Structure 1
Amino acid sequence: MLKKFFILCSGADTDILDTCSNGEQNKYAGIGATVFFTAVMATIAASYALYTVFDNLYTSVFFGLVWGLLIFNLDRYIVSTIKKTGNIVDELIQASPRLLLAVIIAIVISKPIELKIFEKEINQVLLTEKNNMTLDNKTQIAEQFTPKIEAFNTKIDSLQSDINNKEAEVNALYDVYINEAEGTAGTKLLGKGPVYKEKRDKHDAALAELQQLKTDNKAKIEALEAKITQAETDYTNQVTSSQPIIDNFDGLMARVNALNKLPWLPSFFIFLLFLAIETSPIFAKLLSPRGAYDYKLEDEETALKTHVLQNKNQREIMLETDTAVNDRIYNDIKNEDELYNYKRKKARELMQLQADAFYKKQKNIL
């Protein structure tokens, strides 16, 4: 049962192969087994690759089976269409496009398997890339908010500088009227005279202005600090909202790119393994000598071809003969008087009928 299934997978003509020896049947069963297990590996590889895309087991398995059946059909077609002619050059020519297709299939099948085998190493590469992307993302977002925050801080510093300058001015006026009262400066008269009162009033006015300036600037500074807090909050929110995009940076293309950053030799050997599996049925047919199945298949095909050519030639000869006979018949009767008189009579009757019909039509019009 299993042998018949593998023979079916090889694409061989079972009716012809049943008349061949067990050795010939075993050869095609081995070719069919290679085709079947290549399709199985293709199904597994495609299911894993699609799972990284859809993140759904059932969807991945379904499309993986579809892909496996497609590869199975292609491999079966490739093997079954290679004919053993006994001429190695002709066989290589007809096998060359099939070998190219086999290389392409091997690449497609091996890549998802490589992704699974080197999954841990790929995850490490992706982790490094994600960390770098996180830092770059924070830097890029900070470039949007840093100028605003610096501008707010500059305004705060300016407002605080106004307060400091006013405080220095008030302190200087305080020292002036105190020195006037002590007699160490100004009029140098000890006591609180008119000059002292004048300087004290000037200080008190400046002090009131300072208090008002502090009140006004404090409100402005608080507003600016609120804007800074809001900008920092927006920065944090934007970083937080964009982080899941970076965390999910592990799709199929990202993993393939990460695989390409690993040493190429292990991946190359895995590709060679699948290339050998994929091309083995083709080389098995090319390297094996012509067997009983090949001779019987050629006999059936050439017999059918000969039969078709014979029928075609017979139809062409029959057409040529029939044409020649018809030409002779019509040449013989074209000069007969009886046929001439008969056709002349019929032509006269037809013209009379046409004339009568025309006369009736014109009469009805009038």
Structure 2
Amino acid sequence: MLKRFFILCSGADTQILEHCSPGEQNKYVGIGATVFFTAIMAFIAAGYALYTVFDNVFAAIFFGLIWGLLIFNLDRYIVSTIKKTGSALDEFIQATPRIILAIIIAIVIAKPLELKIFEKEINQVLLEEKNAMTLANQNQIAEQFTPEIETLNTEITRLQNQITSKENEVNSLYNVYISEAEGTAGTKLLGKGPVYKEKREKHDAALADLQALKAENKAKIQVAETKIAELKGDYNNKVLSTQPIISNFDGLMARINALNKLPWLPSFFIFLLFLAIETAPIFAKLISPRGAYDYKLQDEEETVKNLILQNKHQRAALLNTENTLNDSVYSDIERDEELYAYKSKKARELLQLQADAFYKKQKSIL
């Protein structure tokens, strides 16, 4: 049962192969097994690749199975269409397009499995890229908010400097009128005289201005700080909303790009392995000598070809004979006097009828 299945996978004619030796049958069993297991590898590779895309096991299995069947059909077709002609050069030229197709298939099959084999290394590369993208994203978003925040901070500093400057002015006036009262400066008269009152009033006016300035600037500072807090909140919200996009940056293309950043030699050897698997049925058939199956298949094909050519030649000869007979028959009829007299009589009657009809038409007009 298994032997018949692998022979079916090889694309060989089972009716011809049944009359060949067991050794010849085993050769095609090996070719069919290679085709079958190549399709299994294609199914596994495509299933994993599609799982990274859909993140759904059932979808990955379904589409992976379709891909595996497609590769199976292609490989079976490639092997079954290589004919053993006895000329190595002709066979290689015949197989060249199929070898190119096998190389393409090997690349397609190998790449998803490389992603799985080097999954840990790829995850490390992706982690580094995600961290770099996170920092770049934060810096990019910050560029939208930083100028306005810096402007507000500058305004807060200016308002605080106004208060500080005014406080220094009030403190200076305080020291002046106290010194005047103590007699250590100004008029140097001890006591609270007219000069002291004047300086005290000036200080009190400046103190009132300071209180008003503090209230006004405090309100402005509070508004600016509230705006800064809102901007920082918007910044944090935008960072949080964009972070899932970066966190999910591990799709198929991202993994392939990460794989390309790893050393190329291990991936190259994996590709060579799958290339050897994929081209094994082709080269197995190319290097194998012509066997009984090849001779019988060639004999059957030539028999059918000769039969078709013979039928075509017979149809052409039959057509030529039929044309010759028809020409001879019509030539004899052309010289028949009885047929001539009959057609002459009928033509005369037809002309008489036309003349009578024309006469009646003209008479009715008149």
Instruction: Identify the TM-score tier after normalising by the shorter chain.
Output: over 0.9
Distance 1:365 1:108 in 2: 91
Distance 1:176 1:322 in 2: 143
Specify the SS of the correspondent of 1:71: helix
Q: TM-score, normalised by structure 2?
A: 0.94
Match of 1:166 in 2: 166
Q: 1:190 Cα shift? A: 2.8
Query: Structure 1 residues 354, 157: CA separation in 2 closer, same or farther (over 3 Å shift)?
Result: farther
Q: Which deviations, in whole Å up to 9, do the C-alpha atoms of 1:199-235 show, x marking residues without a partner? A: 2222211111110110011011011011111111111
Match of 1:185 in 2: 185
Query: Structure 1 residues 110, 364: CA separation in 2 closer, same or farther (over 3 Å shift)?
Result: farther
Distance 2:189 2:359 in 1: 156
Match of 2:280 in 1: 280
Distance 2:243 2:253 in 1: 19
Q: 1:247 Cα shift? A: 1.4
RMSD over aligned Cα atoms: 2.1
Match of 2:314 in 1: 314
Q: 1:350 Cα shift? A: 4.5
Work out whether 1:2 is the aligned partner of 2:2. Answer: yes
Query: Structure 1 residues 351, 152: CA separation in 2 closer, same or farther (over 3 Å shift)?
Result: farther
Q: Which deviations, in whole Å up to 9, do the C-alpha atoms of 1:267-298 show, x marking residues without a partner? A: 11111111111111111111111111111111
- Counterpart amino acid of 2:6? F
Match of 1:31 in 2: 31
Match of 2:127 in 1: 127
Q: 1:198 Cα shift? A: 2.1
Match of 2:261 in 1: 261
Distance 1:357 1:206 in 2: 137
Q: Which deviations, in whole Å up to 9, do the C-alpha atoms of 1:256-277 show, x marking residues without a partner? A: 1111111111111111111111
Query: Structure 1 residues 140, 358: CA separation in 2 closer, same or farther (over 3 Å shift)?
Result: farther
Number of aligned positions between the proteins: 366
Query: Please, which moves more after superposition, 85-94 or 189-198?
Result: 189-198
Distance 2:270 2:221 in 1: 66
Q: How do 1:1-366 residues align onto structure 2 when only pairs under 5 Å count? A: 1-350=1-350
Distance 2:150 2:271 in 1: 56
Q: Which deviations, in whole Å up to 9, do the C-alpha atoms of 1:100-156 show, x marking residues without a partner? A: 000111111111111111111111111111111112112212222211111110000
Query: Structure 1 residues 261, 326: CA separation in 2 closer, same or farther (over 3 Å shift)?
Result: same
Query: Structure 1 residues 322, 262: CA separation in 2 closer, same or farther (over 3 Å shift)?
Result: same
Specify the SS of the correspondent of 1:262: coil
- Counterpart amino acid of 1:133? M
Q: Which deviations, in whole Å up to 9, do the C-alpha atoms of 1:150-183 show, x marking residues without a partner? A: 1110000111111111112222222222233233
Specify the SS of the correspondent of 1:185: coil
Specify the SS of the correspondent of 1:290: coil
Distance 1:216 1:365 in 2: 121
Distance 2:277 2:37 in 1: 9
Distance 1:111 1:184 in 2: 93
- Counterpart amino acid of 1:110? A
Query: Please, which moves more after superposition, 177-186 or 343-352?
Result: 343-352
- Counterpart amino acid of 1:102? A
Distance 2:136 2:329 in 1: 97
| Long gaps (5+) in structure 2 | none
Distance 2:263 2:234 in 1: 42
Identity %: 75
Q: TM-score, normalised by structure 1?
A: 0.94
- Counterpart amino acid of 1:27? K
Query: Please, which moves more after superposition, 225-234 or 51-60?
Result: 225-234
Q: Which runs of 4+ in 1 moved over 4 A?
A: 348-366
Specify the SS of the correspondent of 2:254: helix
Query: Structure 1 residues 283, 220: CA separation in 2 closer, same or farther (over 3 Å shift)?
Result: same
Specify the SS of the correspondent of 2:186: coil
